[in-house]
Amino acid sequence: MAQEIGSRERTLALMAICGAALSLLLVRSAQLQVFDSSKYGMLSRQNRLRRIDLAAPRGLVLTADSVIIAESRPGFNLVLFATADWAAPVSRAASLLALDSAAMFAAVTGQRRQFPRDPVVLVRDLPPPLLARIEEHLDDLPGLRIETASLRRACFGPVGSHLLGFTGRIAVNQYDSLRDYGYGLDDFLGKGSLEQQYENILRGSDGYELYEVDARGRERGAPQALEPVEPVPGSTLRLSIDWGLQLAAESLFAVGQKGAAVAIEPSTGRILALVSRPNFDPNQFATGIRAADWNRLANDPDFPMWDRAVRSAYPPGSTFKVVTAAAALEESLITADGRMPRACGGSLRIGNRVFKCWDKGGHGSLDLHGAMVHSCDVYFYQLGLALTVERMARWSRRMGLGDRTRVDLPIESPGLVPDSSWYRRRTGPGSWRGGVAANMAIGQGELMVTPLQLASLYGAIGNDGQRWKPHLLVSAETAEGAVFRKELKIYDRLPLSPATIAALKRALADVVNQPGGTGGAARVAGVAVAGKTGTAQNPHGEDHSWFACFAPADRPSIAVAVLVENAGHGSAVAAPIAGSIVRTYLGRRQPRSPGQATLAAE
């Protein structure tokens, strides 16, 4: 009897366990088939459908004279989509392409470790013979596919490279922050200059198609019935750059010369040319730069990727004398025809130090006009002592130095305008008096400006004090040609009286055009060029050569600043380059007769 009861209890317990298990199975089945059916249905579709992105071409970059300087071209990449059983097809592809299979395996495993579901680009921009070879064997490469990519092309190679910038692959540490904006792991984005500044405008929106795949990852038939999403091309940038002038300005720098040239339209702030030498080829980055090429660029002692026009700051030398002269006139320390207490005998003693003039024989007694024309250092040493560092610093900042111009580029140096507090922090109390003020008055010492700042300042002087913010963008247009953004025109005024500006303009015109003026090498036949030479001492080597100007002197259409590193006197090196830039630009603006136009076209 007890045995029967025990057997019955065991049977009931077993039935209860089976009932509970069946209940759990029913509940789980209901959850999978009813409550979570859409979720698992989606996962099932994802396992049999492959999304193929359709790359959107990046927008064009055009100049003011309608020259395309950056565009997109098609490329063909070999891409791995499969997440399993990929070793054999990858090894087969490496053999077909005569590539190192170990390197391919390392690339796949490295990416899959962090991003297991993302496609892996095995080879970028396959050349036609290799592309044909892969396509011929594609049925034997399950999980691999040829995918069309949009690759950036700088149409003129290194010319204008610091103006354009380049595109580069998204870094792994950037991906998490960019994927929400529609970027893929193997996408490229703008890095440096205009490509970076206007990334949101130039970048298009990728489309996609859906393909059904079998268990081995091979595509089955045509795209699915779902309508494909077409890619939207990026928008077009139209720049203020005069490409003919840009080409001419680039050609004026000799092989091996380092420096920069900036040309601006004073009445609008439009940048007409922006040159930095040496330069680099943005096309090296279009498919991902090779390690050897990157090491060569990164370790080049001439820093070819550094934009000297906007990011480098230098002592301005005597080009700064316009600021010293303007400050002295506005502070009523001198008049335009007033002379200094000490005539120039070739040097001036200040304390226990002798400050020399560039002309060892001396200039004698000069007024402000004569001191500017002949660039007399002794005259300006005395102005600096009268002004003091503090007042020169204040007027420098009011005239736009020591601060960024806010040009539409991603990185810009503010330069440096040191004042008494700056010297107090770095060199101790009282260190900024005497010789420091004299040195600053001729643009030496710790004072630093960029070529862009100097071009903007001289353009404002030529434009009777009205200063326009330098800019490159004239308009942004959709691929269909609809303008959705126009140039931003912002201006202010130099804090100078009309009399001061007139005195500066007269002196700068005579620097170039009067016999004995230091800027004679910048003369242009039939045009009055107004400008100033500068020879900036360089503690690391030979002097830097400067020239800044505007032309025509009465109503300028162009302002130019040229800097050539370690080249010596501004009158000998930078001035001829600036004069050639002015001559080229004004020549391009001259109307031609029909006969001339036909001849040029032929």
Span 418-434, pLDDT tens digits: 998 999 888 878 766 77
Query: At 296, is the secondary structure helix, strand, or coil?
Result: helix
Please compute the mean of the pLDDT values over residues 558-573 and round it to a whole number. Answer: 95
Q: Are 534 and 570 in contact (CB under 8 A)?
A: yes
Could you tell me the pLDDT band of residue 38, with boundaries at 50, 70 and 90?
low
Evaluate whether the domain defined by 50-209 bears CATH number 3.90.1310.10: yes
> Where is pLDDT greater, at 34 or 14?
14
Percentage of the chain beyond pLDDT 90 is 68
Could you tell me the pLDDT band of residue 43, with boundaries at 50, 70 and 90?
very low
**CATH architecture assigned to 244-589:** 3-Layer(aba) Sandwich (3.40)
Count other C-beta atoms under 10 Å from residue 281's C-beta: 18
Query: Could you tell me the pTM of the whole model?
Result: 0.86
> Where is pLDDT greater, at 320 or 589?
320
Lowest-confidence range among 221-230, 258-267, 398-407, 437-446?
Answer: 221-230
Per-residue pLDDT at 234 exceeds 90: yes
Could you tell me the pLDDT band of residue 601, with boundaries at 50, 70 and 90?
very low
Q: How far apart are CA 396 and CA 320, in angstroms?
A: 9
Q: 62-95 pLDDT, tens per residue?
A: 999 999 999 999 999 999 987 778 899 999 999 9
Write the CB contacts of 546 (distance below 8 Å, at least 6 apart in sequence): 314, 316, 317, 318, 319, 454, 533, 534, 535, 536, 561, 562, 563, 570, 574
Q: Are 342 and 377 in contact (CB under 8 A)?
A: no
Q: What is the pLDDT of residue 187?
A: 87
Q: What is the pLDDT of residue 591?
A: 55
Question: Measured in Å, how far apart are the chain's first and last C-alpha atoms?
Answer: 121
Please compute the mean of the pLDDT values over residues 184-202 and round it to a whole number. Answer: 92
Per-residue pLDDT at 597 exceeds 60: no
Q: 263-318 pLDDT, tens per residue?
A: 999 999 999 999 999 999 999 999 988 889 999 999 999 999 999 999 999 999 99
Annotated domain spans of the chain: 50-209, 244-589
**Bridge partner list, 305:** none
Per-residue pLDDT at 29 exceeds 80: no
Give me the active site residues, please.
318
Q: What is the pLDDT of residue 42?
A: 45
Could you tell me the pLDDT band of residue 471, with boundaries at 50, 70 and 90?
very high
Could you tell me the pLDDT band of residue 1, with boundaries at 50, 70 and 90?
low
**Bridge partner list, 476:** 237, 485
Specify the amino acid at residue 111: Q
Per-residue pLDDT at 4 exceeds 70: no
Q: How far apart are CA 271 and CA 266, in angstroms?
A: 9
Q: What is the pLDDT of residue 48?
A: 61
Per-residue pLDDT at 216 exceeds 60: no
**Bridge partner list, 350:** 353
Query: At 243, is the secondary structure helix, strand, or coil?
Result: helix
Write the CB contacts of 91 (distance below 8 Å, at least 6 apart in sequence): 101, 104, 105
Please compute the mean of the pLDDT values over residues 247-255 and round it to a whole number. Answer: 96
Could you tell me the pLDDT band of residue 17, with boundaries at 50, 70 and 90?
confident
Phi-psi region of 359 (alpha: psi -120 to 50; beta: other; left: phi over 0): beta
Q: 348-394 pLDDT, tens per residue?
A: 999 889 999 999 999 999 999 999 999 999 999 999 999 999 999 99
The two structure tokens encoding residue 420: 């008494």
Phi-psi region of 56 (alpha: psi -120 to 50; beta: other; left: phi over 0): beta
Q: Is 244-589 the same fold as 50-209?
A: no
Specify the amino acid at residue 403: D
Per-residue pLDDT at 212 exceeds 80: no
